Structure 1
């Protein structure tokens, strides 16, 4: 077939145009590859897309946060201060519906609340249930949380229900609980957080305004009085880790070995401390008393306390581990620790 002169010229023009396009594409590829290392910790870059993605990621790795302007104040809501709610979990499925119901009932703005969980050594569907709740909350058109994150870390530590509260096993058990809290804290504490709330999954009732109420006390660490919810309406204390030292308790500690861990609520060694669950509850709810030890059923902490190094010792610190050791450590660093004996929250009866 014989081509006309016009057709031949058109083909030649198209070839020149395609050659220019190919040259430009090759030049772009060369430029991108020359700006990005050919290998990273993730392996060798093999495509232009991966090179461009890496280049974009690299530019986003630069950030700046001025922590000088971070506040944790009595007017937290007005100042738009972020709260991080932290909950360590194990075999928690029976409690999650009520847990999320109560959290979602809080009057504090949801966009200023982040949730984070650490699941350890669980044998049930805790992770799946957490993911289901998170999807439901974050798929809403409004009132979504700032973030919800789930972490999993196993410690290979198992106790039967019969062994769980044995006196002689408590130091080791609480040492692992301390490690769990520290993992969760270091994984979840981000730069926008002003307050950290440690919340047990099996707390079953507290006021909707509790965050604003506890923030208004304006102390570094503050805890309400956690009592036991019973079907007969009896008034029983639950969280016995909130306490004050007394002259008697301090005298008992003088001759103890450094690695001796004191425990509350056990007849094997009576400490002589004044427990918050034994204090009067008829005063105004925000009446505060100084404490030397705290639990973590519902413990509000100014994030600065954790950022400056107060965590949960997994070793004996002034004869305490975990939450009580945290309170001792915080006080040694000069932070304030207070309790509210007349501000009542309720823990499930599961014993």
Structure 2
């Protein structure tokens, strides 16, 4: 553990039409081997048409005395993108810009003085160890992420979170020729970035084998709260050719914070689009 016997963790999850994933999300959070009195949760529901809010409010009542706090925030950004278009290459900079605004709104609304760590947790992460909070805190880095794969029926290795990456000489040379406002994206054949993705790194070197990263996603990202308090947030505008979570990593590194990945520490994401 870090400086306290149990640090206070704020779990933040932005949501949009997430009703189908919430039961599993609640079950996994509740199975965490961590004092519930040291966990706060906050959700931001945006542009939603399903039962997400109703499910959250029911769970909030169940967990009222079980966790330190459970808060639900609502704010619509009026950004409506059909599910079958949400990963189209040309729409990503705009989509990610709205996601950044959502994360910043949730962070500003939820962060309290008692919070030592912020955990950014996607609602559709569907499998992780009950020990993961203790494990990631024990790593004692400013920002740390496990390796997020897709959960497949046959157990095959299929990387999901391609936003966890290292720059390479080739990727840095490529950026010298780009317009400052050009946003780079990972996992798209339309524009190859030449970066080294964490999903492509060796996973057999142990759970706590650390690698430095230059970009991160936010499927399960643990951040020391002071990193956010000192001003590292999620840019909704191009910052060193990145927006949102990868822009956050770039900003945190520019401020002198460590950004670390654990390629051998595997978690699993739903097999969705």
What TM-score do you get using the length of structure 1 for normalisation? Answer: 0.77
Shift of 1:233: 1.6
Matched, 1:218 2:144: no
- The two structures, once aligned, show a CA RMSD in angstroms of 0.9
Using the alignment, how far apart are the partners of 1:343 and 1:206 within structure 2? 9
The structure carrying a bigger helix percent of its residues is: 1
Of 70, 73, 77, which aligns to 1:151? 73
Using the alignment, how far apart are the partners of 1:138 and 1:149 within structure 2? 10
Please give the secondary structure, in 2, of the residue aligned with 1:162.
Answer: helix
Using the alignment, how far apart are the partners of 1:77 and 1:230 within structure 2? 38
Using the alignment, how far apart are the partners of 1:97 and 1:76 within structure 2? 33
Matched, 1:184 2:118: no
After superposition, what is the alpha-carbon deviation per residue over 1:76-95, rounded to whole angstroms, capped at 9, x for unaligned?
Answer: 661x3210000000000000
Partner of 2:212: 290
Matched, 1:253 2:175: yes
Partner of 2:56: 130
Using the alignment, how far apart are the partners of 1:233 and 1:208 within structure 2? 20
Matched, 1:102 2:28: yes
Using the alignment, how far apart are the partners of 2:141 and 2:7 within structure 1? 15
Q: Is the 8 A contact 2:125 2:270 kept in 1?
A: yes
Using the alignment, how far apart are the partners of 1:81 and 1:161 within structure 2? 37
Using the alignment, how far apart are the partners of 1:302 and 1:269 within structure 2? 33
After superposition, what is the alpha-carbon deviation per residue over 1:54-99, rounded to whole angstroms, capped at 9, x for unaligned?
Answer: xxxxxxxxxxxxxxxxxxxx43661x32100000000000000000
Using the alignment, how far apart are the partners of 2:62 and 2:165 within structure 1? 39
Q: Is the 8 A contact 1:241 1:264 kept in 2?
A: yes
Q: Structure 2: where are the runs of 5+ without partners?
A: none
- Point out the structure with max Rg over C-alpha: 1
After superposition, what is the alpha-carbon deviation per residue over 1:100-127, rounded to whole angstroms, capped at 9, x for unaligned?
Answer: 1000000110000000000000010101
Deviation beyond 4 Å, 4+ runs, structure 1: none
Q: Structure 1: where are the runs of 5+ without partners?
A: 1-73
What TM-score do you get using the length of structure 2 for normalisation? Answer: 0.99
Q: Is the 8 A contact 1:84 1:197 kept in 2?
A: yes
Using the alignment, how far apart are the partners of 1:164 and 1:76 within structure 2? 41
Matched, 1:116 2:42: yes
Partner of 2:262: 340
Aligned residue pair count: 273
Of 131, 136, 142, which aligns to 1:209? 131
Using the alignment, how far apart are the partners of 2:143 and 2:3 within structure 1? 15
Please give the secondary structure, in 1, of the residue aligned with 2:192.
Answer: coil
